[in-house]
Amino acid sequence: MFEIKDRDAMGRIGKLKINNHKIETPTIMPVVHPNPKRQIVPIELIKKLTDVIITNSYITYSTPKLKKIAEEKGIHELVGFDKVVVTDSGSFQLSVYGDIDVEPLEIVEFQEKIGVDVGTMLDIPTPPDVERERAEKELGETLRRARASIELKKEKNFKLLLNGTIQGSTYLDLRRKSAEEMGKLDFDIYPIGAVVPLMEEYRYKEVAEIIINTKMCLPTNKPVHLFGCGHPMAFALAVALGCDLFDSAAYALYAKEGRYLTERGTLHLENLKDLDRFPCSCPVCSTYKPKEIYKMDKKERTRLLAEHNLYVTFEEISRIKNAIKEGSLWELVEERCRCHPKLLDALRVVRKYMDFIEKFDPVTKKSAFFYSGYESLFRPEVLRHKKRLSRIRFDKIYITTVSKKVEKPYSDNVNIMHSDVDVLVIDDVFGLVPLYIDTFYPLAQNEIPELFEFEKEHNKPYVKEFIEKHKDKILDINTYNYYINYYNSEANKNKINPDAFRIKKMLQYQYGCDIVDDELINKIIVKRSKTTGRIRYVMLNDKTLFSIRSYDNLLIPTEEGAKLLHKKIPYPKYRVVVNKEVEEFAREGKSVYAKFVVDCDEELRPYEEVLVVNEDDELLAFGTTLLNGKELMEFNYGIAVDVRKGIK
C-alpha cells in the first residue's frame, strides 16, 4: 500500500502503509540488534528518530534465549520497539559465513510467527564479479525460493508483508531478469541485494547501474529498498534513482572504529580531537568537545559516536525530502557527488540512462535549474526540452545568438520578438530556445555561470544537426540585430497577430498538438500583467481559455480551454481514462484515484496538465497528473490526478 505524495528526479516522497502504521519515505531503518544488551544506541533515542527499524530474524532464530522471548512475546517486545519492525532473513549471514542453518520457508514462517511487520525471503546474495554461471544458478535458486515464499504466504494467509530481494551480481541483464520475474510475484517491497561489497569498495558507478537496471524492470508502484546502504553521502543519488528505503548498521559499525559520519564523507575522531568543537550541532556534538569524547572509555565513546552518526543520517534524509519538495534534488545530487570522485563516476554513468529517467522527472519544479558543472548538461530537464522542441511545427526559422548582457527570458528584453517567424536562440545548455517559449520552465528559470569553451562545444553537434534537418525552412543564421533589420524590412507584411502566434507555438510545445489552428489564430487575444507586461490570460470571444502560471509559465486551462484541448488533441493523448464507477465523482471535481484509471497517454510525465475522460472519451474533468503514464497504469493507491474542475 504505497502512494506518491511528492516527487523529483526518480525520487519520491511516498506514504507506505504497514499494518496500522503509516511511514513516510524515503527513510532509513536503523539496524537494531535483537539482543537488547548488544544494542549500542538506546532504543529510546531510536524511537525518537524513526517509526521503522530493521533487525535480524536469523540471529533471533538461532539464539535460543532470544528465540524463546520472540516466540512468546513477539519481536516488538524483544527489541523494545512498538512501531514497524522489519526483519532480514539471514541472507547476509549466508553471504558472510557461506552457510546458515535454516530452511528458506522455515525462516519466512518464523518471521510470521514472531509478529514481524515486514519479513524477508531467504535470498542468495551473489557477490560481485563471480562467474556468470554461478550468478545465474544462484538467481535461479532465489527465484524458486521467492515463488515458494509467496505461495506459502498466500496459502497460510500470513499477515506479514514480504521483501523480495533482487539479485544477479554485477550482471545487469541478470538484475533486469531478476526484477522482471520478482515483479510478477506479489512482494510488498523490493530490496536490491548484494550491493554491500560494492559500496565497501566505493564502486558507486556499478551500484548506480544496478539500481537503474532494476528500476527499469520492476513495477513502479512498489517501494524499493537499497539493502545495506547506510552512508548518508550516497543517499541523495540513490533516492534520485528511485530508492525509497535504506537501512543502516553503518551508524554503529563505523562508531566502533572511531569513525564520524558526515553527509560529505567519513571523518576520524582521531583527526578531529584537536578541534575546539565538532563540525556538527546535533545533541552529541553540541554537548561534548571532540577531546572529551576521544578520552572516554570505548563503550561510551562508541555510543556517542553512534548517536551522532544516527543524527546526521536522519538529517540527510530530511534534507533530501526537502529537496524533493522544492524540486532541487538534482542540485543536491550534483553537490553530493562531488564529495567523492567515485560518486562523480556514478553521476556520470547516469546520463546513459537519461531517456528512461526523464520519463519520471516532473515537467515543472518550484526551484530554478542551477547549473553545477558539465554533468548538468545531461539533466532530464535539458533532454526533455530537446525532445519537446520537435513538437513545434516550424514555419520559417531564424537562428540567432543573443548577447550575454540580455537577461532571461530574452523575450522580455528584446524589442521585437516574433511575427510569423520561429526565432531560435542558440543556448549553451538547452541547445536551441525558440523566443516564443522562452518563459517556460526551465528555459527562463535557471542560473548558469559563464561556461568553459569545452562546455560550449557540447551542444554544437546538436545545433548543427538541427540546422541540417530543417535547412529548407531556415531563413538565416545571424545575430539578433540582423534579425531586427530583417523583421523591419520583410515580415511586417504578415497579418498574423504576434500574440496569437506565440500562444499557438506555446501550446504546440506543451501539448504536442496544434490547438490554435488557422481558424482560431485571428480570434485569440491575450491580456497582460500591468506590472510585468507578460501575458497572463489567453482569451477567445471574451472567455478565458488559459491562464499563464507565474512560476513556470505553463498554460493552465480553464473549463473552456480544457474543452478546446479535448476537441483538438486526438485520443489518447493527454488523457487519463477512468472507469464508469468514478465518472460522477470526476464530474463533481473530486480527485481521481489511481485505482480507477483504466487507460492513459503512456507518454505523460508527472505534473502535466491532463484531461480526465471516460471510456467513450467524454470529458469529465481536467487537472494535474501526479503520475507518469506507466505509473498511472500500475498504481492502485493514492491520487492520480489532482482535479482542477469537473465538467457537468
Residues near ligand GUN (CB under 6 A) are 88-89, 91-92, 120, 123, 125, 165, 193-194, 196, 227-228
If residue 206 lies in a helix (H) or strand (E), which one and from where to where?
helix 204-217
Does 185 bind Zn ion (CB under 5 A)? Our answer is: no
Nearest residue (beta carbon) to ligand GUN:
193
Listed in sequence order, the DSSP H helices in 327-459 are: 329-336, 341-350, 354-358, 380-389, 410-413, 453-457
The contacts of residue 159 (CB under 8 Å, 6+ apart) are: 19, 112
For cell 513545434, name the residue: 392
The cell numbers describing 332, all together, are 543536491
The cell numbers describing 448, all together, are 548558469
CB of 324 to Zn ion, least distance (A): 24
Applying the rule CB under 5 A, the residues between 381 and 420 that interact with Zn ion are none
Does 267 bind Zn ion (CB under 5 A)? Our answer is: no
**108 in Cβ contact with 151 (< 8 Å):** no
- Closer to ligand GUN at the Cβ: 180 or 560? 180
CB of 572 to ligand GUN, least distance (A): 40
The cell numbers describing 162, all together, are 514480504
Q: Which does 221 bind (CB under 5 to 8 A by kind): ligand GUN, Zn ion, none?
A: none
For cell 524511537, name the residue: 47
Does 308 bind Zn ion (CB under 5 A)? Our answer is: yes
CB of 312 to Zn ion, least distance (A): 6
Q: Which does 497 bind (CB under 5 to 8 A by kind): ligand GUN, Zn ion, none?
A: none
What are the φ and ψ backbone dihedral angles of 544, each rounded to 5 degrees? -80, 130
Stretch that binds Zn ion, among 277-285, 391-399, 465-473, 569-577 (CB under 5 A): 277-285
Which of 1, 45, 249, 280 forms a contact with Zn ion (CB under 5 A)?
Answer: 280
If residue 283 lies in a helix (H) or strand (E), which one and from where to where?
helix 283-287
DSSP-based three-state secondary structure for 638: coil
Read off the DSSP letter of residue 393.
-
129 is catalytic: no
- Closer to Zn ion at the Cβ: 304 or 421? 304
- Closer to ligand GUN at the Cβ: 104 or 409? 104
Q: Which does 199 bind (CB under 5 to 8 A by kind): ligand GUN, Zn ion, none?
A: none
Q: Which does 308 bind (CB under 5 to 8 A by kind): Zn ion, ligand GUN, none?
A: Zn ion
Residues 562/566/568/569 CA torsion (nearest 10 deg)? 110
Q: Which does 149 bind (CB under 5 to 8 A by kind): ligand GUN, Zn ion, none?
A: none
The cell numbers describing 403, all together, are 548577447
Half-sphere exposure of 137 (CA within 13 A, CB side): 6
What are the φ and ψ backbone dihedral angles of 527, each rounded to 5 degrees? -115, 140
**254 in Cβ contact with 265 (< 8 Å):** no
Half-sphere exposure of 40 (CA within 13 A, CB side): 23
Q: Which does 280 bind (CB under 5 to 8 A by kind): Zn ion, ligand GUN, none?
A: Zn ion
CB of 96 to ligand GUN, least distance (A): 10
Q: Which does 229 bind (CB under 5 to 8 A by kind): ligand GUN, Zn ion, none?
A: none
The contacts of residue 227 (CB under 8 Å, 6+ apart) are: 165, 191, 192, 193, 194, 195, 196, 247
**424 in Cβ contact with 469 (< 8 Å):** no
DSSP-based three-state secondary structure for 568: helix
Give the DSSP per-residue string, 611-623. EEE-TT--EEEEE
The cell numbers describing 476, all together, are 538565416
Does 379 bind Zn ion (CB under 5 A)? Our answer is: no
**Considering only CA atoms, which of 11, 22, 91, 88 is closest in space to residue 52?**
22
Q: Which does 88 bind (CB under 5 to 8 A by kind): ligand GUN, Zn ion, none?
A: ligand GUN
- Closer to ligand GUN at the Cβ: 234 or 524? 234
Q: Which does 367 bind (CB under 5 to 8 A by kind): Zn ion, ligand GUN, none?
A: none
Half-sphere exposure of 164 (CA within 13 A, CB side): 29
Stretch that binds Zn ion, among 60-68, 87-95, 305-313, 419-427 (CB under 5 A): 305-313
Does 301 bind Zn ion (CB under 5 A)? Our answer is: no
Read off the DSSP letter of residue 80.
T
Read off the DSSP letter of residue 311.
H
- Closer to ligand GUN at the Cβ: 191 or 409? 191
Q: 511-538 burial by CB neighbour count: b if 16+ within 10 A, else e?
A: bbebbbeeebbeebebeeeeeeeebbeb
If residue 224 lies in a helix (H) or strand (E), which one and from where to where?
strand 224-226
CB atoms within 10 A of CB 96: 10
CB of 299 to ligand GUN, least distance (A): 26
The cell numbers describing 597, all together, are 484509471
Beta bridge partners of 17: 22
CB of 288 to Zn ion, least distance (A): 9
CB of 350 to ligand GUN, least distance (A): 22
- Closer to Zn ion at the Cβ: 233 or 346? 233
- Closer to ligand GUN at the Cβ: 194 or 592? 194
The cell numbers describing 612, all together, are 480526465
CB of 304 to Zn ion, least distance (A): 9
Q: Which does 228 bind (CB under 5 to 8 A by kind): ligand GUN, Zn ion, none?
A: ligand GUN
- Closer to Zn ion at the Cβ: 203 or 308? 308
C-alpha R_g of the chain? 28
CB of 119 to ligand GUN, least distance (A): 10
Which of 152, 253, 282, 484 forms a contact with Zn ion (CB under 5 A)?
Answer: 282
CB of 229 to ligand GUN, least distance (A): 9
CB of 311 to Zn ion, least distance (A): 5
- Closer to ligand GUN at the Cβ: 165 or 400? 165
- Closer to Zn ion at the Cβ: 284 or 324? 284
Does 285 bind Zn ion (CB under 5 A)? Our answer is: yes
For the chain, give percent helix, strand, coil, nearest 5: 45, 20, 35
Q: Which does 34 bind (CB under 5 to 8 A by kind): ligand GUN, Zn ion, none?
A: none
List the catalytic residue out of 6, 51, 82, 88. Answer: 88
- Closer to ligand GUN at the Cβ: 126 or 445? 126
CB atoms within 10 A of CB 625: 27
Q: Which parts of this chain interact with Zn ion (CB under 5 A)?
A: 280, 282, 285, 308
* Residues recognised as catalytic: 88
